[in-house]
Structure 1
Amino acid sequence: MQRFEDWPTRLAEFVEARRERAFSWGESDCALFVCDGIESMTGTDPGERWRGLYSTEKGARRVLRDNGGVSGLATLILGPPVVPASAGRGDVVLIDTPEGNALALCIGDRIAAQGVGGIEFHPIAAAKAAWKV
């Protein structure tokens, strides 16, 4: 995937547009949030094959189980993980949440993650793994 020349602007606009969008399985969950962010920066939707396959937590767990979990899904889309310290703006990171592991986007010195009521921001130090976009 190649990023558009203006990908930083596109990423900022994407995060701002999603700021108050509530969590929804199969529409606005952590994996599809990241896929939508990648699409905004590259024009390629890495989540296309999973869209419409689930709309519940049970369905999401099945998709994750069939694809190696949250980390496996990110690796399938983006290749092998890199050390979290090498994550840069626009890259994908893995964070721990009270509900378990979640994918999120590095937006510089912070991480943007899909939360229950909209985007939640975390310090970059919260990244447990990372993948280059």
Structure 2
Amino acid sequence: MSKPRLQNWPTALAAYLTASRTKKFAWGEHDCCLFSAGAIAAQTGEDPAAELRGTYHTAKEATALIRTRYEGSLWNVPEQHGLRLVDVRHAGRGDIVGDVLERRRILGVCAGARSAFLTTRGLVWRDTLACRFAWRIA
């Protein structure tokens, strides 16, 4: 991907995260992968998941998609979309992070010292340094 961030990316990212707080979880529309991709789109103007939106509607279908397109691991999604794995200690605002929540691998968005993750219960925040992985978007 390596697309540079837009000039107004901090404002766009903040607006995106604020809007995501009230938007309900929905597989294939607003789940952890699409939430993370939406954050990338807000910052770069390019949605890495545009072709995937609306193509699956259940957890089972999402798992099948990850199995076929991403070699069976959610952790492969960011890198296959051109993001570079970095040490989580170097994650910056807007970067994508990965962790395990509710016994499920999940992608989120670094907002600085805290990172946002979209779960079936809504947006959950946790310490960025507690995350397992981070991927740089630009």
Q: What TM-score does the superposition give when structure 1 sets the normalisation length?
A: 0.94
- Asked if 1:3 corresponds to 2:5, the answer is yes
AA of the residue aligned to 1:16: T
Higher helix share: 1
- Asked if 1:103 corresponds to 2:118, the answer is no
Unaligned runs of 5+ in 1: none
Where does 1:87-98 land on structure 2 (aligned, <5 Å)? 87-98=91-102
- Aligned sequence identity (%): 33
Residues 44-96 of structure 1: per-residue CA shift (max 9 Å, x gap): 01001212221111110011112132111111013341111111000000011
* Corresponding residue to 1:84 among 88, 98, 112: 88
Moved more, 102-111 or 77-86: 77-86
Question: What SS does structure 2 have at the residue aligned with 1:90?
Answer: coil
CA RMSD of aligned residues (A): 1.2
- Asked if 1:39 corresponds to 2:33, the answer is no
Q: What TM-score does the superposition give when structure 2 sets the normalisation length?
A: 0.91
Where does 1:1-133 land on structure 2 (aligned, <5 Å)? 1-66=3-68, 67-68=70-71, 69-133=73-137
Shift of 1:122: 0.7
Note closer, same or farther for the CA distance 1:7–1:125 as it changes in structure 2 (3 Å cut). Answer: same
Q: Give the length in aligned residue pairs.
A: 133
Shift of 1:124: 1.0
AA of the residue aligned to 2:33: A
